[in-house]
Amino acid sequence: MSVENLPSLPCTEEDTSCSVQTALLVYFYLKCFSSKGKTAHQTCVLSGDGGRREQGHKNQVNFLSVLLAFPQVTSEADVQSAVSLAREKFGKLDLAVNCAGIAVAFKTYNFKKDLPHSLEDFQRVINVNIAGTFNVIRLAVGEMGKNEPDADGHRGCIINTASVAAFDGQVGQAAYSASKGGIVGMTLPIARDLAPMGIRVVTIAPGLFSTPLLAGLPEKVRSFLARQVPFPSRLGDPAEFAHLVIRLDGAIRMQP
């Protein structure tokens, strides 16, 4: 991907317990190019809690070409409206980064309180993290399919955010791990569905990052989690995630 030809980017975020801090992701994603004298590309930020974050977004990215929209990723009408808005503003859509995510920490059964895990909470996590991701994908690729392919036949790219919890879930993470495992599981079949149209689909499984998902935890808990990282022993920075996103390339897979 050339720096001069960066794509239009919609990022999605559901609420304060999101898996990636979208505002910072977009901010660093673009700043790493503007600091090198490159032309900032056009970006659409889709945030589910716009009332709280809108001013922060504006303060951070007011020198860039950024469009703000505030849909719920589980709403077909909201996401379709946001995709259409991006097309009207920028003329096309060629990259979508799915960052929406919520979590609930509760054991399958609390035997001390004789209380099972809330089914409603489990279903909500699955709905936002899996169905929300799929909702954005299915509507975004419809717009990407209208793009003129480049010399390699490439029309667009979808980047999803799973988690290390998809492979190594901890105590009390049944809902979150299941949801992130679902994102991992649907990545390859969706990639195979869309490959004939020149649309790539990849998924990142981050470890522990400094995001709103961890911000609500006590400082001593966050420090403990950071110390569990082998090297460097700290939480990941959203800028590091952003640098991975902009350089992510496709991988060879066996034929379906």
Catalytic residues: 176
What is the C-alpha to C-alpha distance for residues 69 and 156, in angstroms, rounded to an integer? 21
Beta-carbon contacts of residue 141 (< 8 Å; ≥ 6 apart): 156, 158, 194, 197, 199
What is the C-alpha to C-alpha distance for residues 129 and 14, in angstroms, rounded to an integer? 9
Q: Tell me if 140 sits within 8 A of 160, measured CB to CB.
A: no
3-state DSSP assignment of residue 142: helix
What is the C-alpha to C-alpha distance for residues 125 and 131, in angstroms, rounded to an integer? 9
Beta-carbon contacts of residue 172 (< 8 Å; ≥ 6 apart): 105, 106, 107
Helices (H), 91-218: 119-126, 132-144, 174-194, 212-215
What is the C-alpha to C-alpha distance for residues 248 and 1, in angstroms, rounded to an integer? 9
Asked whether the bond before 232 is cis by omega within 30 degrees of 0, the reply is: yes
* 54 C-beta neighbours (distance < 10 Å), count: 15
